[in-house]
Structure formats: C-alpha cells, structure tokens
Copies of this chain bind each other. A is one copy, B any other.
Amino acid sequence: MDIAADPSHPRYASLLRRHLIETAAAEGLLAGSAMIAHGRGEAYDYLLGESTSASAARATAEAWSRLRAAAHPVISVNGNTVALAGRDLLHVAAALGCPIEVNIFYRTEARMAALIGRLEAWKEEDGLDVDVLGARDDGRILGLEGPRSRCDARGIAAADVVFVPLEDGDRCEALVAMGKQVLVVDLNPLSRTARTATVTMVDDVGRVALAMRNLAASEGSRGPSDTWNNDAVLQEALDEIVAHLTSKFRNV
C-alpha cells in the first residue's frame, strides 16, 4: 500500500478504496465475489474519470430529497457498501432519523454479525442515534426465494423509499414491484439495476455517501422532482464514458 500512502498520486482515492475493500475482505466482512464486483466498479469509475459528474450529483440530490420526503425511509447496506461508505451512511441515517439495515446476498450469520458489529462500533464512536437492523429476518421481499428474500419487517419490508447502493438486478426489480421507490448507486449505467431503479446514481458509493452526508448537514432541501427522468441520467453517464474514452485516447 505504498502508493496509497501518497495523496498526490493521481489515483490515490481509487487505491484507498481498494485498500478498504482488501481490509474488509481480510476481516471476513465480504463474500467471495465482492472483490470481483469491486474490480468491475473500478473499471467503470476509471472510464467515468473517477469523479462525480454533474448528472450524478443531480441524482444524489434527488435521492436525498426523496429520502427526506419519505414516510418510512431505510438505508440498506451490503458488505462492499459498509466497507466503502458505512460510516458516512450512518451519519445520513442519523440525519434522516431512519434505520440502516444490513442485507446481504450471500447471507451467513458470521458475516451479518461482523457487519452489524462494524456499524455499531462506528455509531458508538461518533455518538449517533441510529437503529442498526439486520439481525432479525422476519420480513420478506416478495418475488424472491430463499435467503435472498429475507429482510427486517421494521426496515426494508416496511419502507416506502429504500436507498440501497450496489443492489443486484433481481432484488432491485422485486423492490420496485412491491411499489417502493428504489434509490441505487451503480457505476455501470447499462446494468439491470441501473435501468430498473427509481433514481440511479452513476457514481462511486463512497463519493455518494459523503455528498449525501454534506447535503444532510446543509440547511434546507428542495422537494422531490415531479418529472424525474432516470433514463436521461443514464444516457448522460454513457455520453460521459464515450467522451472520456475518446479524449483519453487522443491525449495519449
């Protein structure tokens, strides 16, 4: 990690995120495929210029305003989200007065306990008042089977607006079919999740969480848009990738 120790390195932030993921993997917080998923994210973020675009910032502001306006918002986190953005999302949950729920694709009691423990420790350190859910699995996501359908009856099951970064396509579709607003973070604008969600933030989850924490700390918030066009956001992300690919090669 010698490169990550040098903040002047042009890819410092990316290397720092990789370090967070490798550390979380070593601590048993992640499933076997989590590092592969992170690698896919690295590639898309590289193509997006490793920065937050104007359209992604708009999507995050829209997601924040929908969480603010929700009757029962919840933030659902998996292993990679906890590793990359867990602490900032605890602050967002505290500002919203909503629960944060650990909900993972490959559910094992050991990983659930480790992830809940990590969030509880940060919560304690930062003096936050947030319900950390996930230990109970008395709720169901309709249309899914087996462990993937389980959730907390007080959390995801009861929510009208779910902020679930890094969700898979099946579960995103199932949550939308249940009539919930689903707010996702996905660096691949072509993924089923990105195309199915109510609001898609095509951005790194760490940058999104920090931006949302800053929105939560600032005064005031406009209401949700009546005319949110999620496809337009995805198209803008694609356009940015194409522009970046073209300019990068020209500048070689």
| Partner-B contacts on A (CB < 8 A) | 18, 21-22, 25-26, 32-33, 35-44, 46, 188-190, 195, 234-235, 238, 241-242, 245-246, 248-249, 252
Contact = CB atoms under 8 A, between A and B. Distances in A.
* 9 A-B pairs with the lowest CB-CB distances in the bound complex, closest first: A39-B39, A43-B43, A35-B35, A36-B39, A40-B43, A39-B40, A35-B36, A242-B242, A40-B42
Contacts of A40: 39-40, 42-43, 46
From DSSP, what is the main secondary structure of chain A's interface residues?
A: helix
One complex includes copies of this chain to the number of: 2
B41 A190 contact: no
A195 B41 CA distance: 22
A176 to B, nearest CB: 15
A34 B174 CA distance: 33
A192 to B, nearest CB: 10
